Structure 1
């Protein structure tokens, strides 16, 4: 079993490979996910200007960073994106596997009317 630094290094390598291909614009911002041990964070970023268009986190909601928290966070982010007049995003899983919490977030943003 590898050390934690090995896991972080491997995730950063996956993240780099993903980021070479994904780029956010004003019309189609990059929606990135970050998971800490306590919270989940989402940002919609316009990479051309280096601006964050919308944010959401489980810190605001007061829910745990599990699948149920991901469902609530996805719904909140869909509302925030609608307020920012964004209807299409590029989903950046940030090196995480697309299952569990990350999949719950993406599914609920899509159900909220945002094209992922």
Structure 2
């Protein structure tokens, strides 16, 4: 039987989402990692709105070309997200890893957000 990695990730994400729910007092920090970029957004699931969002696409092209899609980029995105969310008054969030392992770029983003003042 052939294993489809995309379907496996979607299945894992659905399993995580059964337990992880964002509220207005503690919204959900959702991370999506592609091969080239990383995206993060803070979502209020009760109202269905995105409160804060950022990604590696927001970096200027020279900076991204120099660094590339690695943990350093994820740390920059995590720090940007934490700064934006603290300006909006969002400090505590629930972390949603999006079906990916808490390792590498996902972990780097999460730890940079924690270091910048967000609480999980």
TM-score normalized with structure 2 length: 0.90
Q: CA deviation at 1:65?
A: 2.5
Paired with 2:87 and 2:34, the residues of 1 have a C-alpha distance of: 26
SS at match of 2:22: coil
Is 1:96 paired with 2:100? yes
Partner Cα separation in structure 1 for residue 76 and residue 37 of structure 2: 13
- Consecutive unaligned residues in structure 2, runs of 5 or more: none
Residue 32 of structure 1: aligned partner: 30
**Partner of residue 45 from structure 1, selected from 26, 34, 43:** 43
User: Which consecutive aligned stretches of 4+ in structure 1 deviate over 3 angstroms post-superposition?
Assistant: none
How many pairs are equivalent? 113
Let me know the Cα RMSD of the aligned residues. Answer: 1.1
Is the aligned partner of 1:18 residue 2:16? yes
CA distance in 2, matches of 1:97, 1:11: 10
